[in-house]
Amino acid sequence: TEREQCKAIDYVFYSPKGFTPKAILQLPSKDDIGPNALPSINYSSDHLALEVVLNIEQ
């Protein structure tokens, strides 16, 4: 039988020397996604985008 899985497989790594995070896209919560999991009518993929805006320090 297939089991639903929820796990992180993508990460954003940065060096604390030279970069500071300015903004991080919040992922939807399990409540936002709802009981039908992904993909769904609101989320067309079972993958979620990661987005980070970094300031480059000079």
Dihedral sign of CA atoms 22, 51, 29, 33 in order: positive
Delimit the domains of the chain by residue range. 1-58
Confidence of residue 7 (pLDDT cuts 50, 70, 90): confident
Q: Are 27 and 48 in contact (CB under 8 A)?
A: yes
Tens digit of pLDDT for each residue in 18-58? 999 999 999 999 999 988 889 988 899 999 999 999 999 98
User: Quick one: which of 25, 14, 3, 27 has its CA closest to 56?
Assistant: 14
Q: What is the pTM of this model?
A: 0.66
